[in-house]
Chain A
Amino acid sequence: MEQRFADVAAEGRPVLVTYFMGGDPDFETSLAIMQALPKAGADVIELGVPFSDPMADGPAIQLAGQRALKAGQTLAKTLDLARRFRAEDQRTPIVLMGYYNPIYIYGVERFLDDAVEAGVDGLIVVDLPPEMDDELCIPALKKGISFVRLATPTTDDRRLPKVLENTSGFVYYVSMTGITGSSLPDPSLIAGAVARIKSHTQLPVCVGFGVKTAEHARVIGASADGVVVGTAIVNQIASSLTESGKATDATVPGVEALVRGLSAGVRAARLAAAE
């Protein structure tokens, strides 16, 4: 993951991090989506692990999780998705994103071993704050898996050092308080927040929550090391499905087209920043 961030930084542009829900709308289609992402310009993949009670997610990602669970997706199958992807792409970093309970039930040690074997590079676990680092963060770091932490507007200077202490890979700055899929706040506020976090850490800072268009990606990418796009991709997938939630011929190409546009956005960010 460090290599990928360094390579992209050398190109003088921000990293494009793309999120989608593993198993949405079904295993094979989501594998095809995952394989299409790097080809369309994604630099890092966040692979969503569905959970029945996603407390920090908005309606779009909740529904994606429900579609995936209905299609039989599990944590084991999500690891399998990573493994199948990794067989063909050894370079694009994979970060699993989800909630703790499925991992806890799978068994932390067994999960970490299987995740390493599947080619997973990092984890984002929404309901494990630094106070809970003994649960998964420390064991993951020992196995060489990054633990990416979320920082939010409520994470003040007093708290930032604690949040950053065991963070690795990158810092995911959630650009507003709220659930995923909310609207985008003022870009100048984001630039200030990114600068504040960077004064505390050498790690790259990626910004997410609310990034929907190439223009958003360009504006945010002007100040951040990376841009995370999630809900927009999930919505794109949802809009392509049949009424009963099945994939269509438009599902994978729709995601490709969206990500290509976003990729153009982050590439334009370099020009915008240079102006």
Chain B
Amino acid sequence: MNQPLKPNSFRAGPDEDGRFGIFGGRFVAETLMPLILDLQDEWNKAKDDPAFKAELEQLGAHYIGRPSPLYFAERLTAELGGAKIYFKREELNHTGSHKINNCIGQILLAKRMGKTRIIAETGAGQHGVASATVAARFGLPCVVYMGATDVERQAPNVFRMKLLGAEVKPVTAGHGTLKDAMNEALRDWVTNVDSTYYLIGTAAGPHPYPEMVRDFQAVIGQEAKEQILAAEGRLPDLVIAAVGGGSNAIGIFHPFLDDEGVRIVGVEAGGKGLDGDEHCASITAGSPGVLHGNRTYLLQDGDGQIKEGHSISAGLDYPGIGPEHAWLNDIGRVEYVPIMDHEALEAFQTLTRLEGIIPALEPSHALAEVIKRAPTMGKDEIILMNLSGRGDKDIFTVGKILGMGQ
């Protein structure tokens, strides 16, 4: 019996060095350390500042459109014939995904720190759009790094970012996906450290980013908890979200971590299957390593070289995962499972036709897991899923695969 001791709370991390168990930390070049320490100071001050909280809430309500609704998916529930299915509708936020929650929070910090330029990485373009949006709102120039493959498959979001005044820099290194965009953003940051704020979109990277992004996204789970109690008078039996880096998932999971009766499942991109390299299931098929400022589960070879991975969804196409997820997996609080490209694609179509909601390909992975589990559960049981983004950006990709070309 070598199981790690169960902590008193699953919500107490990270420690002061940014560790969740063995995961997390601050694995960055010395050039960035002073800035990361400054950011941590500023974040600690802001957390306890009522004025910061008030501004965040005001913008949340009037700019993002919070709280986002909790929606009972009646027809999907009837079709699957099992547990009652609720969606937390983050896709109804301004800019069309949960990403804006974090961007508003971080740009307020950037302003407090006196930074004059914003950079961001993006995969699906949702974080890029949200970054470009808040940069426009606060009058700061914004550069978004995006893998060249993603620039192509998420063209509508590239256009939106440009309209919003951001400069989109395609990155051709590697497979031209999120990992490569993050490398390039880090290079920019190292070069322009005095003026620039790096607005990381996911709950990964060096401390304090994983904690900070989680706290900005935890509004999802906090609202959902109140809403489900109002609707059902009790907590859900199962909470499900898709995990790439893991910001939408940690956002909805975190407020439920200490609720013992609530099972929690994170869905990784299984791509074309876990046998080869064509997937992004970092936890299910990877091992602990160090990349992009933190220790976490990574897809890598025996020499510690990072693999490229694959997912139909640009937002999940990343060979790592946020460190808190890595810890929650090892400690056994959250279960992580893969969903294949074709299952996500099927779920995408199911939701579109049954509920009139076009989901992004990222939450379509979570939905595919809901579709698997709901029929096995009782009618008195409740599933809560984070519908983290809308699918307008994906319609051309999906149309092409389904042979529905224009």
B260 within 8 A of A: no
Contact with B along A48-78 (1 / 0, CB 8 A): 0011111110100010000001000011100
Question: What CA separation (Å) do A106 and B300 show in the bound complex?
Answer: 12
Flag if A55 contacts B29 (CB, 8 Å): yes
- Note all chain B residues with C-beta closer than 8 A to A54: 183
Question: What CA separation (Å) do A92 and B190 show in the bound complex?
Answer: 32
Flag if A75 contacts B304 (CB, 8 Å): yes
Flag if A177 contacts B190 (CB, 8 Å): yes
- For A100, A103, A129, A150, which residue has the most chain B Cβ atoms within 10 angstroms? A129
Flag if B26 contacts A105 (CB, 8 Å): no
- For B32, B192, B293, which residue has the most chain A Cβ atoms within 10 angstroms? B32
- For B29, B34, B186, B293, which residue has the most chain A Cβ atoms within 10 angstroms? B29
Question: What CA separation (Å) do A127 and B183 show in the bound complex?
Answer: 13
Stretch in A152-160, A190-198, A212-220, A242-250 touching the partner: A152-160
Question: What CA separation (Å) do A149 and B30 show in the bound complex?
Answer: 9
Stretch in B284-292, B341-349, B356-364 touching the partner: B284-292
B173 within 8 A of A: yes
- Note all chain A residues with C-beta closer than 8 A to B305: 50-52, 69, 102
Question: What CA separation (Å) do A11 and B292 show in the bound complex?
Answer: 43
Question: What CA separation (Å) do A151 and B34 show in the bound complex?
Answer: 11
Question: What CA separation (Å) do A45 and B33 show in the bound complex?
Answer: 27
A130 → chain B, closest Cβ, in Å? 8
Flag if B289 contacts A151 (CB, 8 Å): no
A167 → chain B, closest Cβ, in Å? 11
- Note all chain B residues with C-beta closer than 8 A to A76: 303
State which residues 143-171 of A face B: CB under 8 Å.
149-152, 154-156, 159, 163
Question: What CA separation (Å) do A76 and B304 show in the bound complex?
Answer: 11
Question: In the complex, what residue of chain B is closest to A65 when comparing beta carbons?
Answer: B305
B187 within 8 A of A: yes
Known: A55-B186, A155-B34, A159-B34. A100 touches B191 (CB 8 A): no
Known: A131-B26, A131-B33, A154-B34. A178 touches B304 (CB 8 A): no
Ordered by A's residue number, 6 sampled pairs between the chains whose C-beta atoms are within 8 Å are A104-B290, A129-B27, A129-B28, A129-B30, A130-B33, A155-B30
Q: Given known contacts A106-B303, A156-B34, what 19 new A-B pairs fall within 8 Å (CB)?
A: A51-B304, A51-B305, A53-B291, A53-B292, A55-B292, A56-B187, A99-B290, A101-B289, A101-B291, A101-B306, A102-B303, A104-B290, A127-B27, A127-B293, A129-B33, A131-B33, A150-B30, A154-B193, A159-B34
Contact with A along B157-194 (1 / 0, CB 8 A): 00000000000000001100001000100110011111
Q: 3 closest Cβ contacts across the A-B interface?
A: A105-B304, A102-B304, A178-B191
Partner of B173, one of A62, A74, A150: A62
Partner of A101, one of B34, B35, B192, B300: B300
- Note all chain B residues with C-beta closer than 8 A to A40: none
- Note all chain B residues with C-beta closer than 8 A to A62: 173
B87 → chain A, closest Cβ, in Å? 36
- Note all chain A residues with C-beta closer than 8 A to B31: 56, 150, 152, 154, 174, 177-178
Flag if A53 contacts B306 (CB, 8 Å): yes
Known: A53-B183, A75-B303. A127 touches B29 (CB 8 A): yes
Residues of A within 8 A of B (CB): 50-56, 58, 62, 69, 74-76, 99-106, 126-132, 149-152, 154-156, 159, 163, 174, 177-179, 182
Question: In the complex, what residue of chain A is closest to B295 when comparing beta carbons?
Answer: A104
- For A103, A151, A154, A174, which residue has the most chain B Cβ atoms within 10 angstroms? A154
Flag if A105 contacts B303 (CB, 8 Å): yes
Flag if B304 contacts A127 (CB, 8 Å): no
Question: What CA separation (Å) do A100 and B26 show in the bound complex?
Answer: 12
- Note all chain A residues with C-beta closer than 8 A to B27: 100, 127-129, 132
Flag if A179 contacts B306 (CB, 8 Å): no
A241 → chain B, closest Cβ, in Å? 19
Residues of B within 8 A of A (CB): 17, 25-35, 173-174, 179, 183, 186-187, 190-194, 289-293, 295, 298, 300, 302-306
Flag if B290 contacts A100 (CB, 8 Å): yes
- Note all chain B residues with C-beta closer than 8 A to A154: 30-35, 193-194
- For B27, B32, B35, B306, which residue has the most chain A Cβ atoms within 10 angstroms? B27
Question: In the complex, what residue of chain B is closest to A182 when comparing beta carbons?
Answer: B191
Known: A131-B17, A179-B190. A74 touches B30 (CB 8 A): no
Question: In the complex, what residue of chain A is closest to B298 when comparing beta carbons?
Answer: A101
Known: A104-B290, A177-B191. A151 touches B33 (CB 8 A): no
Question: What CA separation (Å) do A128 and B25 show in the bound complex?
Answer: 10
B225 → chain A, closest Cβ, in Å? 35
- Note all chain A residues with C-beta closer than 8 A to B291: 53, 101
Flag if B302 contacts A179 (CB, 8 Å): no
- Note all chain A residues with C-beta closer than 8 A to B174: 52
B350 → chain A, closest Cβ, in Å? 37
Partner of B300, one of A105, A128, A179: A105
Question: In the complex, what residue of chain A is closest to B302 when comparing beta carbons?
Answer: A105
- Note all chain B residues with C-beta closer than 8 A to A75: 303-304
Flag if B300 contacts A152 (CB, 8 Å): no
- Note all chain A residues with C-beta closer than 8 A to B293: 127
Known: A75-B303, A105-B289. A132 touches B29 (CB 8 A): no
- Note all chain B residues with C-beta closer than 8 A to A127: 27-29, 290, 293
B384 → chain A, closest Cβ, in Å? 35
Question: What CA separation (Å) do A74 and B290 show in the bound complex?
Answer: 17
- Note all chain B residues with C-beta closer than 8 A to A132: 25-27
A215 → chain B, closest Cβ, in Å? 24
Question: What CA separation (Å) do A32 and B305 show in the bound complex?
Answer: 25
A23 → chain B, closest Cβ, in Å? 11
B316 → chain A, closest Cβ, in Å? 18
Flag if A177 contacts B183 (CB, 8 Å): no
- For B34, B190, B191, B289, which residue has the most chain A Cβ atoms within 10 angstroms? B190
